[in-house]
Amino acid sequence: MKRKFLKLLAFSLVITVNITGQINNGLKAYYPFSGNANDYSGQNFHGKFVGNPTLTTDRFGMENCAYQFPGNETTYIQIKYNSIFDVSPQGAFSISLWHQGGTKFGSGLQELFQKGDPSNTDNYGYTLALYDLNKPVFGNGLLGVWGTRDTFIYPDTNWYHLVAIYNNKNWYLYENAILQSTNLSGKYGIAQARNNIRIGKEYLGKIDDIRFYNRVLDTNEIFQIFKLSSSCQITESENIPGQSFANIFPNPTNTSLTVALQRPNDFTFISIYNLMGVELSKYSVNSGNANIDLTNFANGIYIIRIHSNGMFENKLIEKY
C-alpha cells in the first residue's frame, strides 16, 4: 500500500507539472496575492494600493493569501495601464479569479476586475463584476453575460471561481468550472480604453488568484485551474526549507493517523482538505500529538495542512 501511495504521489506530481505548464501558456498577468499585489507572471505588472485593501485568509484558510475590500469607491488595487491588457473587437482573452462576499444591499456595480471608465460607455473596455443581488456579470459595461445566482445570500461565505472569456464579440461566463451563460449575438465588442485596471472597487469581500490570459481557456484548462490547491507562496520566514515540524503516521491509513508535533508547546491548527480545496475538518492542538479520525472519510487522497507559530506545512495523506 505504501508503494502504491508513493507511485500515486509521483504520478500526481508529474501531472501537476504538465498541467501547470499548459495553463501558463498565454498567461500575461498573475496575482496570487501572496502577501502582496505583485504580478508573478514575469511581466511585472504589479498592483498599487489605493486606500487600504487588507490581507486576509484565502479559501484554504491560509493567512495573508487574499485581499479583503470594504466596498467603497476609495479602496481598491490598481494596475497601471499597459497595452498588454488591450483587446481588439476581434481579439480574445480570459480572466480567472476567486471571490467571496458581496454587498449587503446587492446593488451597484462591484468591480472584481475592470478596465475602462464606467461613466463613459464609449470608453468601456471590459468588466467582471457583481451586480443586481450580487450576480456575476461580464461584458462591455453591463452588455455581455450574466451569472445565474437566483438566491440572494448575505453574508455569503462561499468561495466562487469565475472564468470570463471574450472571443471575437462572443462572451462566456463560467462559475466553479460550469458554463453559466453565453452571449453569441456578436453585438458587443470591446472599446479601446486606455485606462488602468481596477480590482475590488466598491466590492465588499475577498478576491484571490487572479489570472489574465491573452487567449481563450478551454473547458479542460478551466477545470484544472478550478482544482488547483492554494497558489499562495510561503515565504522563508513562514516555512523553513528542508525542515518539517510534524511527523504523520501511519500514512496511508484506513482508520486514523497521528500528527506528532516537533514543537509540542506551540498552539497548532490542523486542517484536512480534499483535492478540490474544500476544508473537510479542522482541529486545534496544544499538546505533543493529535489523533485524527478518518473512518468517515471516503477512500482517496487528501491534503493535511498544519499551521503552527506562523508557519505552514502541507502533506498528502491517503485513506484506503
The tens digit of pLDDT for each residue in 51-84 reads 999 999 999 888 899 999 999 999 999 999 999 9
Global confidence as pTM? 0.70
Count helices and strands in the chain by DSSP H and E runs: 2, 22
Q: Are 290 and 271 in contact (CB under 8 A)?
A: no
Residue 100: inside a domain: yes
Return the C-alpha cell found at 16. Answer: 501537476
Residues 136 and 42 in one domain: yes
Average pLDDT over residues 308-316: 72
Percent of the chain whose pLDDT exceeds 90: 48
Return the C-alpha cell found at 286. Answer: 496544544
Residue 161: inside a domain: yes
Residue 295: inside a domain: yes
Res 175 pLDDT > 70 = yes
- DSSP classification of residue 29: E
Read off the amino acid at residue 317.
Answer: I
Please give the C-alpha separations between residue 299 and each of 227, 260, 276, in angstroms, as whole numbers. 18, 23, 15
Res 191 pLDDT > 50 = yes
Read off the amino acid at residue 264.
Answer: P
How many residues does this entry show for the chain?
A: 320
Q: Are 40 and 31 in contact (CB under 8 A)?
A: yes
Q: Which of 193, 227, 261 is at the close of a domain?
A: 227
Contacts of 236 (CB under 8 A, 6+ apart): none
For residue 267, give its domain range.
246-319
Quickly state the pLDDT bin for 21 (edges 50, 70, 90).
low
Lowest mean pLDDT across 99-113, 149-163, 242-256, 284-298: 242-256
Among residues 57, 53, 78, the alpha carbon closest in space to that of 66 is found at 57
Residue 28: inside a domain: yes
